[in-house]
Each structure stands twice: as structure tokens, then as C-alpha cells.
Amino acid sequence: MNKQEFEKLAIRGDGTISALLYDTIERHYMSDNRYHEAHGGIEESKESFIKRVFGGKVNTPKTIMEKMAKESIKENRWCLQGNQSADKKRLDEMDAKIWEMTKWLAQQQN
């Protein structure tokens, strides 16, 4: 899936996202980690991935950023469950950093 194809499938109208944010989305889609196996599977189609993570073609560039940040936070928390050093305060700090990084990626020019 390329950037234009993603935008066509996930963003309503003529909206676009930054290349850096798209790269993050593509890496997440292509990952074959345990989180992805448990949530959609490593053989998940791009259409299924977009529907699961982004809700289909209903997004603006801003909602793409927000939904990608939420999915990254969800993955991070899922991977750290049971880790004794990952208390609520530390998880909240990680969540904030993930959110800020995703927001920064979205703001970069193409």
C-alpha cells in the first residue's frame, strides 16, 4: 500500500497526511509482532486494517493522526501488560510521548 492509496481508502475528500506519518502507519501495518497477530493478524488485508484502526473512509488528516496515536498507545500497553515496572504513572508518561511524537510526525511537511 502506498501513501496515495492509503489516503484514498481512509480519508474523505482530498485530505493528505505527511510522509512521515504515513511511514509510521505502514510500519505498523507491516509489522508481524504478537500484538498484530492478536489484533487483525499478520495476513490482515489493507482494507481490513484501515477499517479496524481508522474506521474506513471517514477521516480527516487530524483524525488519522489521533487514531494512529491511539493504536500505538494501545499496542504499547498491550505489550507491557504484566510488566511490573510499567505502573500507571509510567504508562501515562509513555502515552503522552507517543501522542506527541505522532502529532509531530503529522505536522511535518511532505
Q: Please count the structural domains in the chain.
A: 1
pTM for the full model?
0.89
57 touches 12 (CB < 8 A): yes
What pLDDT score does 110 carry? 57
Which domain covers residue 28, as residue numbers? 3-107
pLDDT digits (tens, 9 = 90+) for 56-103: 999 999 999 999 999 999 999 999 998 888 899 999 999 999 999 999
